Amino acid sequence: MVESNGGELDLNSLVIDLPAAHRADLSELGIEELDRGVCEDTFQNRGILRRSKLIWETVYTNDGTSSGLLKVRSADSTRERRIQSLSEKRPLLVTPTDNNSDYLTGKALLAEDSTEYLVPPWVLGATRKYLKEQAEGGPSSDKRQPVPLPHRCRQIKHDGIRCMLWASGRSVDDGLCRIHLRSLKSKTSDDIERAREKLTQAAPFAVDKLEELMEFAESEPVALKAATEILDRAGVRGGYEIDTTATLDVRPAAEVIAERLERLAVGAAAAAATLHEDGAKVIDAEVVIEETEERPAMTTKEEEE
């Protein structure tokens, strides 16, 4: 009989299908064991197991209910389990004897017989799309990014074995799978500071590369882009400064109307003076309306009369 938060439990009523030799020695971590590799499911115990990089599972009773206990695998057992899982995927490895080898990609991946049941469908679809674009000579437009080629995740786990999941191949994913991409969100300030130090150390090399491209690049657009980047980083920027200041001149409506009437009066006086100088006279005239009806053609006799 063992005691847990839920009361006394009989070990015979627990489903612990993990051999004792594959369970971790929790006493070395300061965790009270109810049996070899079995402990209570508490927040404190989970925190210790998580920091120790150990894998645990919930212990259930024979009737399928949770017992409130955890069974913990040892690090060696977890590593052997991963190697066993990797043995099924060795046909996909570029070097089958290397546990951290890259996966086959491109045509070599599609040609492998075991690909259909070992590779996720999205990887096969992305690979076919990549090969199709390469056969057509690249992206259809200069503004389109090339289709990425999936590959094995580059992350090395704490047991020294590379992650066996697939990465999308996009540059923004940095060679990581979706699981390890999510873990980037929990990076500490120390990790960010180390990343900034790396960027600072790489800055001189980046400047040298820009200078090299500006002087020796065969493509004029590349050389122009490098020169522009250097000027931009130096604080010399091109373009025009735009002054967005707006000045509003609000005038009364009566003043505007008075100015318009004055201009009309001056124009009328000028027109009257011109008519007086030319001696122009206005003559009454009668409005003549032209007849538009067609008259019949005259005969020869009518023309002689």
- Residues 179-188 have pLDDT tens digits of 888 876 555 5
Helix H segments across the chain? 43-51, 75-87, 106-111, 115-118, 121-135, 178-183, 189-216, 220-234, 253-278, 300-304
Provide the pLDDT for residue 280.
53
Provide the pLDDT for residue 284.
53
* Whether pLDDT at 298 is above 70: no
Residue type, 116: E
Q: Tokens 């890259």 map to which residue?
A: 102
CA distance 230 to 224: 10
Confidence band, pLDDT 50/70/90 cuts, at residue 191 = low
CA angle 192, 198, 204 (to 5 degrees): 140
Provide the pLDDT for residue 292.
47
Provide the pLDDT for residue 174.
86
**DSSP secondary-structure letter at 38?**
E
* Whether pLDDT at 212 is above 50: yes
- Name the maximum alpha-carbon separation found in the chain: 149
Provide the pLDDT for residue 273.
76
Provide the pLDDT for residue 301.
45
CA distance 89 to 97: 11
CA distance 60 to 66: 5
Sketch the domain layout of the chain as residue ranges. 2-73, 83-186, 189-234
**DSSP secondary-structure letter at 23?**
B
Query: Mean pLDDT across the chain, nearest whole number?
Result: 79
User: How far is CA 37 from each of CA 5, 22, 57, 221, rounded to the nearest angstrom?
Assistant: 17, 8, 11, 64
Which pTM value belongs to this model? 0.49
CA distance 231 to 92: 48
Q: Which range has the worst mean pLDDT, 45-49, 90-94, 207-211?
A: 207-211
